[in-house]
């Protein structure tokens, strides 16, 4: 019984060769995509790590400050701890918006060109 490979459907695309991937990696368009990602990711990552380390250092070395009551039994440490979660969600939301506006269109254009749809 002979088996034949079915013709590619519209959902299947041409697979680029290794040489095409290497050539694309050195293209200006891919460089711009990489710069757009790094211009958001690196500063936000450094900022969040600094903010987290500040929280940890304050927790370890500023007992008096962190124990200061804000409202009722809620102290500064609790408020800053909740702010860590809020910051995480804000970063995720901001990255989602950045990716949708700046990264996804550039990545889609590269993907389309690489798969031969352009």
Asked whether the beta carbons of 16 and 67 are under 8 A apart, the reply is: no
Q: What angle do CA 82, 37, 54 make, to 5 degrees?
A: 30
Q: Could you tell me the end-to-end alpha-carbon distance of the chain, in angstroms, rounded to an integer?
A: 38
Which residues are within 8 A (CB) of 46 and not within 5 positions of it... i.e. 6 or more apart?
none
- Give 45-112 as a 3 state SS string: HHHHHHHHHHHHHHHHHCHHHHCCEEECCEEHHHHHHHHHHHHHHHHHHHHHHHHHHHHHHHHHHHHH
Query: CA-CA distances (angstroms) from residue 116 to 24, 109, 113?
Result: 13, 11, 5
Mean pLDDT value across residues 23-52: 94
Report pTM.
0.75
Average pLDDT in the chain: 88
Is the confidence at residue 5, as pLDDT, over 60? Answer: no
Give the separation between CA 17 and CA 30, rounded to whole angstroms.
17
pLDDT in tens, 38-61: 999 999 999 999 999 999 999 999
Give the separation between CA 82 and CA 44, rounded to whole angstroms.
19
């Amino acid at each position: 019984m002979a088996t034949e490979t079915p013709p590619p459907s519209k959902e299947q695309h041409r697979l680029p060769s290794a040489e095409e991937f290497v050539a694309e990696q050195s293209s200006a368009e891919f460089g711009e995509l990489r710069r757009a990602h790094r211009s958001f990711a690196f500063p936000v990552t450094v900022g969040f790590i600094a903010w987290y380390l500040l929280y940890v250092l304050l927790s370890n070395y500023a007992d008096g400050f962190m124990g200061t009551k804000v409202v009722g039994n809620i102290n500064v440490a609790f408020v800053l701890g909740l702010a860590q979660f809020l910051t995480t969600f804000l970063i995720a939301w901001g990255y989602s918006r950045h990716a949708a506006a700046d990264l996804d269109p550039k990545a889609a254009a590269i993907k389309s060109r690489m798969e031969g749809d352009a």
